[in-house]
Structure 1
Amino acid sequence: MDLQTLSNLFATTFSPDPNVRKAGELDIRKVANEEGIITALLQIIATDSVDPAIRQACTVWLKNRVITHYNPDKSTDRVPIAQSDRQSLKAAIFPLLSAVTSHGITVQLSNTLKTLVINDYPDNWPGLLGDVKRLLASSEVREVHAGCVASLEIVRAFRFRQKSDILSGIVVELMPTLVQIATQMLHSVSNASSNINPSSQEIPTMLHLILKTYKTSIIVNLSTHQQSADSLVPWGQLLFAVINFEVPQVAVPADEEERERCEWWKVKKWAYGILFRLFHRYGNPSQLPSTMKKEYKTFADHFVTMFAPEILNIYLRQVELFVSGRAWLSKKCQYQIFQFFTECVKPKSTWKLLKPHFESLVSSFVFPQLSFTAAKEELWTNDPVDFVRTSVGE
């Protein structure tokens, strides 16, 4: 089937006429198992002149097809994707991620990549990490962005595998490069903060992806590499810098609700979230389960004495700026600070540092959050369901 015919066929899948739509879907099913169909779809997705809606439809179908037919269960009658199409997929996925500007298409391609990684890495895709590292080392912003997207999906593919040597290897290969890129980007923005283009989202988006990748990698385990000073120090310095970074007003919306969803404040939320995860799961010796003490006791003793006090001081400073009206904090960042303070109550060493600030924190930071304000009353009156949702979330 030629590309134009295939493109027209996918155009029928979002026709307002249900009969046309159903006929199109049936025709697609008839050609779905043909060798070369996926290679053809990749060409359509890569063609800028094709209607974006058609490219999006092709990408969604491709993602679903890869999920169900790349490595189908032998108990089903599904026909596996042909080897030629598999090779085309792996060859085209990174150039496509680098070229597309549509967020919707990027999301679908990212999910497709994760399925490829789950099924083929490392045995059938030994050059995967080398390809990603080349993207991250590129001088082209779009390629670096694609490398960040790929890094997140690769880590996601193995995040829940207990004691995974594969994930540990990925961490060693990618994390040093990612923290270096993020540090350089934040440094460049800090030096030119007054000249930030308010419409530019490249740097905060990539910082968001990088921090999300690190957080994803520590969900279940903290690898030996990540426990070492070689990893912990540069990542800690980056997280501190993100939290202390004063986002220029030109780079965030004036409306508070829009600011909550701003990419820069998502970056800060992930920085706060990482520090809490490190402390809560791995760095608090008084709360370590007996099953984790052998692996993390040394790290926890070091973290609670060397890192936790520094984090606490930074958070106290952020709260001071917030309650005095000299800085703004998103609700999710405030929540992460509350969580960290709660964790600090448990070890004697951090409680000793927090205790002198307890009364002022309760009166100036905690109490205002619990008070029933006019804004909360209006929300309760107009939308009690949303009031409960936001109140519990806070």
Structure 2
Amino acid sequence: MDVAGLRDRIQATLDANGDIRRQAELDLKYAESQPGFPNALCDILQAEQDQAVRLSTVVYLKNRVIRGWSPEEDHSLHKPIPEEERGSLRNRLLPMLASSPPPIRSQLVPMLSKILQHDFPEKWPNFMDITLQLLNGSDVNSVFAGLQCLLAICRVYSYKVTEDDKKAEFDEIVDHSFPQLLNIGSRLVNEESEEAGEMLRTVMKAYKHAIYMELPSHLMSDQATVDWCTLFLRIIDKTPPPCSMTGEPADRELTHWWKSKKWAYANLNRLFVRYGNPSALGKSSKPDYAQYAKMFMTAFAPEILKGYLQQVDKWVSGGLWLSKPALYYTLVFLEECVKPKAVWDHLKPHIENLVAHLIFPLLCQTDEDIELFDSDPAEYLHRKLNLFEEVSAPDAAATNFLIALTKTRKKQTFSILTFVNSVVSKYESAPDDQKLPREKEGALRMIGSLASVILGKKTTS
């Protein structure tokens, strides 16, 4: 295929003249079904200096690969990429990933996932060898490319590991790659740059997908659990870098460092909820899971709880801002600690403070709530009445914690009612100019969330 002519057509799609643009798009639509189109796009990507042309090129390449790698499985009418062209595409993809700037890289990653989904390991047997070389490289771009490769393969296997042969394959992948992944994560947590935050976020997500359905054998060892949980707690405890603390709270939550914290919380929660709580294991669980759960409950869960409570203390004192996901995952973990005696004994002394200084403030109206009520009452009602539709909503998690606490530890109901009564009494006795309606509404919301427990048959047992 004429690479120069193809490049000319891609550049023409950026022309201000609509007629020129439309003709170029028609020409490219014809070209994409011709032999050599994907590799010609790779030639342009590797040689081009104009960033706009590069970005357009990689979008065309991504679309061609995603639509044409397995059109029969996707029930697509697009022409499949010829088998004889696929090998060179696989060989060129990882070097391009390692040498490309972020906007290009973000378009290459979906291609990588698509190809791995269909070709690994049979048609791409050296993929993990290349990934390990990248992870062990000294160049930052190479290491980042290696992290993205590992994340992509973890995603591919996250739902396949329930099959015995796939679990064995993935166990081998984790055995060879996760020690280095841990080393990289342990170095990154000490850095401050936005790029380091993005790389650390990738490390966290690779672990997330690796343990999503099954726990790989390597990660079940005591030492691996110690090392990874230590890393997660270090990330959670890390003072947020300045680059992650600018702008509005909603903007902060989208930064790589806060996303890293979010996934560190989520990974600890997943370990505890799915694998670390003996009473939550199903009858069909493997015997080694029972042993792991017993070990996790006694040795790790109390330390994780301690780390979470330290963050809550800082948030309560005003010395730390926490994102909504951080508060949400904290409360989910606290809820899981209510029933098992091994962790309840550690949580119980903190309950009154948690109710007064964490749960109650989260159930009070915020400035954001008031603004929404004034500007869009219908949306406000939808938000409050459909609370559980919102992912990572701290007030929903606070409500769930209260319900679990009063259902499982019924004696705690009386201390909660005493607290609510004190808030309402304070409101009623205060002069009109000193009344705090938000506090009264928050207290009544606590009562409302506990209605089913308070009105139940056995509330005093």
Q: CA separation in 1, counterparts of 2:202 and 2:170?
A: 17
Q: 1:224 to 1:378 in 2, by over 3 A?
A: same
1:21-100 → structure 2 map (5 Å cutoff): 21-50=21-50, 52-73=51-72, 79-100=79-100
- Cα deviation 1:72-124 (Å, max 9, x = unaligned): 42887754323442122112111211121133x21220010111111221111
Q: CA separation in 1, counterparts of 2:383 and 2:106?
A: 27
* Aligned AA (2:185): A
Deviation at 1:380, TM superposition (A): 2.3
- Conservation of the 8 A alpha-carbon contact between 1:148 and 1:206: yes
- Conservation of the 8 A alpha-carbon contact between 1:159 and 1:167: no
- Conservation of the 8 A alpha-carbon contact between 2:68 and 2:78: yes
- Residue 360 of structure 1 is matched in structure 2 by 353
Q: 1:9 to 1:318 in 2, by over 3 A?
A: same
Deviation at 1:283, TM superposition (A): 0.9
Q: CA separation in 2, counterparts of 1:43 and 1:20?
A: 24
1:377 correspondence with 2:365? no
Equivalent position SS for 1:35: coil
Q: CA separation in 2, counterparts of 1:15 and 1:86?
A: 31
* Aligned AA (1:252): M
1:180 correspondence with 2:183? yes
- Conservation of the 8 A alpha-carbon contact between 2:13 and 2:22: yes
- Cα deviation 1:268-305 (Å, max 9, x = unaligned): 11100100011111111111222225352111111111
1:121 correspondence with 2:114? no
Q: 1:27 to 1:325 in 2, by over 3 A?
A: same
Q: 1:73 to 1:307 in 2, by over 3 A?
A: same
Q: 1:317 aligns with which of 288, 299, 310?
A: 310
- Cα deviation 1:57-83 (Å, max 9, x = unaligned): 222222222223223428877543234
Q: 1:327 aligns with which of 307, 317, 320?
A: 320
Q: Give 1 or 2 for the bigger CA radius of gyration.
A: 2
Deviation at 1:352, TM superposition (A): 1.7
Deviation at 1:335, TM superposition (A): 0.7
- Conservation of the 8 A alpha-carbon contact between 2:372 and 2:380: yes
Q: 2:216 aligns with which of 209, 217, 223?
A: 223
Q: 1:289 aligns with which of 282, 289, 292?
A: 282
Q: 1:321 to 1:370 in 2, by over 3 A?
A: same
1:150 correspondence with 2:145? no
Q: 1:387 to 1:59 in 2, by over 3 A?
A: farther
* TM-score, normalised with respect to structure 2: 0.77
Q: CA separation in 2, counterparts of 1:88 and 1:289?
A: 46
Unaligned runs of 5+ in 1: 190-195
Q: CA separation in 1, counterparts of 2:76 and 2:222?
A: 49
Equivalent position SS for 1:328: coil
Q: CA separation in 1, counterparts of 2:381 and 2:316?
A: 23
Q: CA separation in 1, counterparts of 2:275 and 2:149?
A: 27
Q: 2:202 aligns with which of 202, 205, 209?
A: 209
* TM-score, normalised with respect to structure 1: 0.89
* Aligned AA (1:60): V
Q: CA separation in 1, counterparts of 2:376 and 2:17?
A: 37
1:195-206 → structure 2 map (5 Å cutoff): 196=192, 200-206=193-199
- Conservation of the 8 A alpha-carbon contact between 2:35 and 2:82: yes
- Residue 192 of structure 1 is matched in structure 2 by none
64-73 or 314-323, larger mean C-alpha shift: 64-73
- Conservation of the 8 A alpha-carbon contact between 1:286 and 1:346: no
Deviation at 1:255, TM superposition (A): 4.0
Equivalent position SS for 2:285: helix
Q: CA separation in 2, counterparts of 1:230 and 1:83?
A: 44
Q: CA separation in 1, counterparts of 2:118 and 2:230?
A: 35
Deviation at 1:327, TM superposition (A): 1.7
Q: CA separation in 1, counterparts of 2:339 and 2:12?
A: 60
* Aligned AA (1:92): R
Once the two structures are aligned, what percentage of the paired residues are identical? 36
Q: CA separation in 2, counterparts of 1:117 and 1:374?
A: 47
Equivalent position SS for 1:34: coil
- Residue 432 of structure 2 is matched in structure 1 by none
Q: Which has the higher contact order (CA 8 A, sep 6+)?
A: 1
Q: CA separation in 1, counterparts of 2:48 and 2:21?
A: 24
1:169 correspondence with 2:162? no
Deviation at 1:263, TM superposition (A): 1.8
Query: What RMSD over aligned residues (CA atoms) do the two structures have, in Å?
Result: 2.3
Unaligned runs of 5+ in 2: 395-461
- Residue 336 of structure 1 is matched in structure 2 by 329
Q: CA separation in 1, counterparts of 2:260 and 2:37?
A: 39
